[in-house]
């Protein structure tokens, strides 16, 4: 499976990044050259010059779309393949049933050290992260002097994270639904401990995203955005540092009034935004991603329903080829979820590349909060995709049924939460 | 998203629908339609087919209402809070208190609430001494 994924990644990179990307790059070079020549030609009017400039920008963004999509698909594929390779190796060294020394409950869930190992790794990684970034800078030809010491702490952290994940994979893979641990005391008495733990985790995640959102609200209320500027004009009330009384008077007299407004991401993305770059195509990646997350929420529900169904029947018609039996159906629903989530990451990075190319960088306070908040959400999606890859692996080998299907349910809770966070992020950062 | 069955007004409406009576399917359809509505509200500057301008207040109202409906659909049905024991809903809502506090204290505070903190609040921070 890992080989197939890497092949898909390389083919996608060759087709999109190198194939179409190089054609688009040539078109971009031509458009740029035409524009520069026109700039030196005194017979060319300003409107023609503007038109050529727009063509140059469109050609650049078109090139970026294919190049970034190709590179992202390849990188994601390689990470998936490495992850699956490690998982396959761990699976191959699992003790066989007859070697289990008479322990009939080796497939039960026991207390696990994996989360604490994982968290310790995350702690070390984050502690070393600022140095890690400085260490990577010279490696990516971004200036600075290379010092191996900068990379040490985060690399140790990453290694411990991998050990934690590998150990968790080794422990969970043989679980076929016997011995799910039940809470014996209030407030979760009688409930599965894993489910209760996941909800407490989601509770902490709500707090994480609330900090991003409140920070955004805090700075947003201070910015003189086009929304704030237009509202100030229409309401006829001066706003300090944004709308003056003289501008209101001009507006009331029927004049077109412009002001020095702050550009947010939505100004670049939505039609009518202050940057003037927004149209159907700039809005498309965010909108498609929103639908992709909702559809992926539904496909994971279908995976769980199928796994839990006692009398599952294969559908009729074309779908029968995709869902011939219960085990394959669960796996394919999970693969569909994985593909939709992967598409989300690809489109997000394409969209980011466009925003950066248009000048909306992380160097401004608007860019900073946008990239940090949407990037944190993207990281959650990507982490979810790696877990989903494990679910696909288990669905393909051990299989999910009514006894152990809760593994999908608990992951589904996390995945739905990621969808829920997007319900807030999308309108706040992309539309408003 | 679990073994529990749920009952309520929405479930009884779904029961009366022709064809598929799966609550998850209809929840999915509602989420898709509302998302379309949400994107459309921002995409169109006037109501399609008319010259009625969609005001910023209307857009803002639509975004908030759609957000609430979508949030409810995902949490209540996909995350199955509606059929699960109440302790899960309480767990999910527990941070809301802190979230409201943050929105009020940080999100909607005076712009100077952070940058103008007294120096004893921000020991060793460069800007604390420079401001």
pLDDT band at residue B126, thresholds of 50, 70 and 90?
low
Q: How many helices (H) and strands (E) would you count in chain A?
A: 14, 0
* pLDDT, tens only, A249-280: 888 888 888 888 888 998 888 887 888 888 88
Nearby residues of B101 by Cβ (< 8 Å), 6 or more positions away: none
| pLDDT for residue A256 | 83
> Which phi-psi region, left, alpha or beta, contains residue B8 (left: φ > 0; alpha: ψ -120 to 50)?
left
| pLDDT for residue A130 | 86
Beta bridge partners of B53: B46
A416 to chain B: which residues are within 8 Å by CB?
Answer: 1, 74-75, 78-79
Cβ pair A411, A380 in contact under 8 A: no
Nearby residues of A399 by Cβ (< 8 Å), 6 or more positions away: A327, A330
The one-character DSSP state at A428 is I
* Nearest-angstrom CA–CA distance, A406 and A389: 16
**Total Cβ atoms within 10 A of residue B103:** 16
First-to-last C-alpha distance (Å) of chain B: 52
Nearby residues of A260 by Cβ (< 8 Å), 6 or more positions away: A224
Cβ pair A182, B71 in contact under 8 A: no
Beta bridge partners of A266: none
> Which phi-psi region, left, alpha or beta, contains residue B65 (left: φ > 0; alpha: ψ -120 to 50)?
alpha
Q: How far is CA A404 from CA A172, A411, B43, in A?
A: 11, 12, 44
pLDDT band at residue B108, thresholds of 50, 70 and 90?
low
**Total Cβ atoms within 10 A of residue A230:** 17
Nearby residues of B100 by Cβ (< 8 Å), 6 or more positions away: none
Beta bridge partners of A239: A243
* pLDDT, tens only, B46-92: 787 888 877 777 888 888 899 999 999 999 999 989 888 999 999 98
Residue of A203, A290, A308 with shortest CB distance to B92: A203
Residue of B nearest to A403 (CA): B3
Closest CA to B48 of B36, B32, B60: B36
A304 to chain B: which residues are within 8 Å by CB?
Answer: 1
| pLDDT for residue B87 | 92
Cβ pair A44, A12 in contact under 8 A: no
Q: For residue A428, give both structure tokens.
A: 């706040």
- What are the extents of the domains in chain B? 1-94, 95-131
| pLDDT for residue B49 | 80
| Residue of B41, B60, B87 for testing the chain A interface, max A β-carbons within 10 Å | B87
* Nearest-angstrom CA–CA distance, B73 and B38: 15
Cβ pair B89, B12 in contact under 8 A: no
| pLDDT for residue A305 | 92
State yes or no: pLDDT of B117 exceeds 70: no
B70 to chain A: which residues are within 8 Å by CB?
Answer: 423
Closest CA to A171 of A232, A119, A217, A114: A114
| pLDDT for residue B119 | 64
Residue of A215, A271, A290 with shortest CB distance to B35: A290
**Total Cβ atoms within 10 A of residue A104:** 9
pLDDT band at residue B100, thresholds of 50, 70 and 90?
confident
* Nearest-angstrom CA–CA distance, A310 and A305: 10
* pLDDT, tens only, A102-121: 445 555 556 788 889 999 99
**Total Cβ atoms within 10 A of residue B50:** 7
* Nearest-angstrom CA–CA distance, A237 and A258: 16
Residues in chain A where the model's pLDDT stays below 50 = 98-103
DSSP per-residue codes, B19-80 = S---HHHHHHHHHHHHHHHHHHHHH-SB-TTS--B--HHHHHHHHHHHHHHHHHIIIIIIS-
CB pairs under 8 A between A and B: 137
Nearby residues of A142 by Cβ (< 8 Å), 6 or more positions away: A136
Residue of B nearest to A283 (CA): B43
B103 to chain A: which residues are within 8 Å by CB?
Answer: 210, 213-214, 217
Cβ pair A176, A398 in contact under 8 A: yes
Q: pTM for the full model?
A: 0.86
State yes or no: pLDDT of B128 exceeds 50: no
| pLDDT for residue A109 | 57
Q: Is the peptide bond before A187 cis (omega within 30 degrees of 0)?
A: yes
The residue assigned the tokens 């069955």 is: B5
The residue assigned the tokens 């420079």 is: B130
Note whether A199 contacts B95, CB cutoff 8 Å: no
* Nearest-angstrom CA–CA distance, A187 and B87: 7
Note whether B92 contacts A304, CB cutoff 8 Å: no
| pLDDT for residue B115 | 59
């Amino acid at each position: 499976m890992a080989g197939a994924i890497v092949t898909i990644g390389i083919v996608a990179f060759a087709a999109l990044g190198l194939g179409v990307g190089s054609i688009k790059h040539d078109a971009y070079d031509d458009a740029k050259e035409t524009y520069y020549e026109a700039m030196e030609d005194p017979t060319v009017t300003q409107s023609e010059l503007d038109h050529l400039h727009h063509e140059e920008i469109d050609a650049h963004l078109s090139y970026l779309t294919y190049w970034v999509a190709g590179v992202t698909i390849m990188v994601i594929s390689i990470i998936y393949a490495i992850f699956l390779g490690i998982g396959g190796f761990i699976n191959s060294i699992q003790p066989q049933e007859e070697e289990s020394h008479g322990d009939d409950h080796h497939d039960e869930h026991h207390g696990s050290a994996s989360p604490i190992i994982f968290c310790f790794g995350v702690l070390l990684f984050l502690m070393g992260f600022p140095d890690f970034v400085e260490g990577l800078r010279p490696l990516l030809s971004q200036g600075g002097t290379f010092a191996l010491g900068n990379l040490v702490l985060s690399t140790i952290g990453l290694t411990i994270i991998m050990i934690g994940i590998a150990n968790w994979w080794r422990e969970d893979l043989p679980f076929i639904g016997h011995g799910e641990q039940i809470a014996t005391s209030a407030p979760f008495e009688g409930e599965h401990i894993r489910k209760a733990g996941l909800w407490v985790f989601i509770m902490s995640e709500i707090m994480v995203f609330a900090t991003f959102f409140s920070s955004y609200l805090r700075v947003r209320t201070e910015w003189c955005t086009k929304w704030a500027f237009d509202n100030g004009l229409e309401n006829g009330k001066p706003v300090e540092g944004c709308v003056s009384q003289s501008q209101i008077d001009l507006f009331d007299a029927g004049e077109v009034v412009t002001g020095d407004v702050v550009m947010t991401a939505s100004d670049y993305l939505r039609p009518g935004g202050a940057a003037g770059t927004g149209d159907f195509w700039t809005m498309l990646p965010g909108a498609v991603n929103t639908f992709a997350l909702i559809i992926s929420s539904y496909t994971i529900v279908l995976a769980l329903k199928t796994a839990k169904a006692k009398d599952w029947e294969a559908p009729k018609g074309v779908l029968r080829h995709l869902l011939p039996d219960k085990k394959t159906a669960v796996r394919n629903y999970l693969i569909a979820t994985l593909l939709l989530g992967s598409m989300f990451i690809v489109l997000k990075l394409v969209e980011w590349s466009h925003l950066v190319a248009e000048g909306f960088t992380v160097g401004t306070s608007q860019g900073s909060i946008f990239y940090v908040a949407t990037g944190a959400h993207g990281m959650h999606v990507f982490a979810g995709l790696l877990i989903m890859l494990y679910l696909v692996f288990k669905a393909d080998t051990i299989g999910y049924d009514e006894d152990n299907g809760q593994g999908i349910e608990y992951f589904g809770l996390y995945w739905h939460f990621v969808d829920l966070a997007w319900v807030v992020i999308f309108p706040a950062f992309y539309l408003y | 998203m679990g073994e529990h069955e749920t009952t309520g007004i929405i479930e009884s409406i779904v029961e009366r629908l022709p064809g598929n009576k799966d609550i998850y399917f209809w929840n999915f359809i509602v989420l898709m339609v509302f998302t379309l509505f949400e994107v459309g509200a921002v995409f169109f500057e006037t109501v399609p087919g008319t010259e009625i301008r969609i005001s910023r207040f209307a857009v803002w109202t639509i975004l908030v209402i759609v957000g609430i409906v979508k949030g409810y659909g995902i949490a209540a049905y996909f995350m199955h809070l509606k059929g699960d024991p109440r302790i899960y809903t309480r767990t999910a809502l527990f941070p809301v208190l802190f979230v409201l506090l943050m929105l009020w204290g940080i999100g909607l505070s005076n712009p100077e609430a952070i940058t103008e903190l007294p120096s004893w609040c921000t020991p060793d921070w460069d800007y604390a001494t420079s401001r």
